[in-house]
Amino acid sequence: MQRGPQPADFADVRATNLAVVLRYVRNHAPCSRAEIAATTGLNKATVSSLVADLIERRLLRETGLTEHRIGRPATMLVLDGSPYAAIGIEVNADYLTAVAIDLAGQQVLSWRRSFAGLASSPAQAATAIAALGRRAVNRVLKEDRRVLGLTVGVPGLVSPDGVVIMAPNLGWQDVNLRDIVNRALGEPGFPVAVDNDANLAVLAESRYGAFAGSQNLIYLTGEVGIGAGIISDGRPLRGHRGFPGEIGHITIDPQGPPCACGRRGCLEAIAGISAIIARVLPDLAGDGDLTDLQPEVDEVVRRARAGDPAALRALDEVGRALGQGVSILANLLDPEVVVLGGYFVPLAPWLLPPVEAELKARRIGPEQGGAQVVASILDHGAAATGGAATVLDHVDAGRLPRL
Ligand SMILES: [Zn+2]
């Protein structure tokens, strides 16, 4: 269909302007109507009308605060956190997390459940995911909030319409997770989306992490699998089909251990958390199903703290492999910071030194090219928080909740 220039639809312009004001307040609150008008270029009467609309939708509220400039005092505006929440759910091989945040970005719930990812069929897994989603939705509704949307993060390749093309560490192939969750929630009337866990986690990191606002930031998931979420020149890197950042499947050692993807010696077959546990705790091998690895990780930390030489040697080898992966990313993308997430966080005291040593040895730019490597402050909630944050991004982009 040919579409030439057309007169802008009034409703479209209005929605766009509402989003402009909402985003301005998100970034500058508390702020006055006059300030919004002066900065956005919208006229004062328009801003007043837009603000009235946003207050009626309960997206903004007036604070008691006033700012005395020359002339009349101005009433200040902030985002209204109370009426809405966005939900994110993270699926992993050994646990599920749910996070809800309000419109202002405050966390209103954060749950973690153990989950036998690899032992569950896609249908069983979807039931567990939907059950957790339903509980989160009910909790939000009980607090008299409306749900703006729910996004599920999965460790695998996800198509834009929410089909998990493959997730080797869950044993999934071509699972239409969005449809399944949507149906299990009873077609809930809010948008349900599915995305790659690393893509979501990096959004959370760039919004709420220690390096929030960084224009060049990489997040590495430290789970059974390892994936990279990438913000490059201020934008999330999405690739041709949405599958970038699969650093977990670069070959570190062609003779190395088998990987869930069917190849050998991939980074995650050496430095993924199951591989770390197998290497550091060989005496506990074959302890059964993969459900919540936290107790094993606690034991790895205990041995490392106690100075157990075998444990320290194993963590150093893992850190060197991880450093090889990080230096490939750093040489390609020139990040300001590489954030290690998930189970890498409690292991960071032992992983960071070998990672930094490898980065220094392999990076073409001097002194690691200026890239820092740090542990995430968001812990296991990053992908779920990012899932909820994408819902807020849609609101900020103009998909406002109906009155
Ligand atoms: Zn692999």
Each residue's pLDDT, cut to its tens digit, for the chain (403 residues) gives 444 444 556 678 888 999 999 999 999 989 999 999 999 999 999 999 999 999 999 999 999 767 666 666 788 999 998 899 999 999 998 899 999 999 988 999 999 998 888 788 888 888 899 999 999 999 999 999 999 999 999 999 999 999 999 999 898 999 999 999 999 888 898 999 999 999 999 999 999 999 999 999 999 999 999 999 999 999 999 998 888 999 999 999 999 999 999 999 999 999 999 999 999 998 886 655 567 889 999 999 999 999 999 999 999 999 999 999 999 999 999 999 999 999 999 999 999 999 999 999 998 887 777 899 999 998 778 999 999 999 999 998 888 887 7
Closest C-alpha to 352, from 233, 236, 261, 220:
220
Closest C-alpha to 90, from 254, 267, 278, 222:
222
Distance 295 CA to ligand 1 centre (A): 25
* Ligand 1 ion: nearby residues, β-carbon < 5 Å: 249, 259, 261, 263, 266
214 conformational bin, left if phi > 0, alpha if psi -120 to 50, beta if neither: beta
Distance 259 CA to ligand 1 centre (A): 5
Distance 159 CA to ligand 1 centre (A): 19
Distance 168 CA to ligand 1 centre (A): 8
Distance 265 CA to ligand 1 centre (A): 7
Residue 287's pLDDT is what?
A: 58
Distance 261 CA to ligand 1 centre (A): 4
Distance 68 CA to ligand 1 centre (A): 61
CB 172 within 8 A of CB 161: no
Distance 243 CA to ligand 1 centre (A): 14
Distance 333 CA to ligand 1 centre (A): 22
Residue 67's pLDDT is what?
A: 64
Distance 308 CA to ligand 1 centre (A): 30
Distance 244 CA to ligand 1 centre (A): 14
Distance 248 CA to ligand 1 centre (A): 6
Residue 69's pLDDT is what?
A: 60
64 Cβ contact list (under 8 Å, min separation 6)? none
Distance 327 CA to ligand 1 centre (A): 18
What is the pTM for the complete model shown? 0.90
* CA atoms of 175 and 123, how far apart (whole Å): 9
Distance 262 CA to ligand 1 centre (A): 6
Closest C-alpha to 139, from 177, 102, 181:
102
Distance 374 CA to ligand 1 centre (A): 24
CB 130 within 8 A of CB 184: yes
Exposure class string for 360-391: b at 16+ Cβ within 10 A, else e: eeebeeeebeebebebbebbbbbbbbbbbbbb
Distance 330 CA to ligand 1 centre (A): 20
* CA atoms of 105 and 393, how far apart (whole Å): 11
Residue 398's pLDDT is what?
A: 86
Distance 258 CA to ligand 1 centre (A): 8
Residue 3's pLDDT is what?
A: 46
Distance 185 CA to ligand 1 centre (A): 33
* CA atoms of 266 and 257, how far apart (whole Å): 8
